[in-house]
Amino acid sequence: MLEAFGVINIWTYLAGLTMIILAPGPNSLYVLKSSSTYGVKSGYKAASAVLVGDAILILLSYLGIASLIQASPVLFTVIRYLGAAYLLYLGIKLIHHYWFNRNVAQQGEALPVKRENVFGKALTLSLTNPKAILFYVSFFIQFIDYTYEHTWISYLILAAILQVFSIVYLSFLIFLGSSLTQVFRNNQSLSKLGNSLLGLLFVGFAARLASLS
The predicted-structure confidence for 175-185, as pLDDT tens digits, reads as follows 988 877 666 66
Q: State the Cα–Cα distance between residues 37 and 31, nearest whole angstrom.
A: 10
CB distance 150 to 140 below 8 Å? no
Report the distance separating Cα 110 and Cα 181, nearest Å.
9
Check residue 114 and give its pLDDT.
55
Residue 212 pLDDT:
62
What's the mean pLDDT in 123-150?
78
Terminal CA-to-CA distance of the chain, rounded, Å? 38
28-49 pLDDT, tens per residue? 888 988 888 888 899 999 999 9
pLDDT grade, residue 52 (50/70/90)? very high
185-209 residue pLDDT tens: 655 665 666 666 777 777 777 787 6
The pLDDT value recorded for residue 85 is 81
Q: What mean pLDDT is predicted for residues 141-170?
A: 88
Give the C-alpha separation, 27 to 25, whole Å.
6
Phi and psi (nearest 5°) for 39?
A: 110, 180
Please give the single-letter amino acid code of residue 89: Y
Q: How far apart are CA 145 and CA 9, in angstroms?
A: 10
The whole-angstrom separation of Cα 92 and Cα 115 is 17
Burial class (CB in 10 A: 0-12, 13-18, 19+), 161: middle
Mean pLDDT across the chain = 78
* Tens-place pLDDT, residues 74-107: 777 777 787 778 778 777 877 766 666 555 444 4
What pLDDT is attached to residue 25?
80
Q: How many CB atoms lie within 10 A of CB 103?
A: 11
| Other C-beta atoms lying within 10 Å of the C-beta of residue 17 | 19
- Indicate the burial class of 170 (C-beta count within 10 angstroms; 0-12, 13-18, 19 or more): buried
pTM of the model: 0.74
Q: 3-state SS string over 57-87? A: HHHHHHHCHHHHHHHCHHHHHHHHHHHHHHH
Q: Which residue has the higher pLDDT, 141 or 111?
A: 141
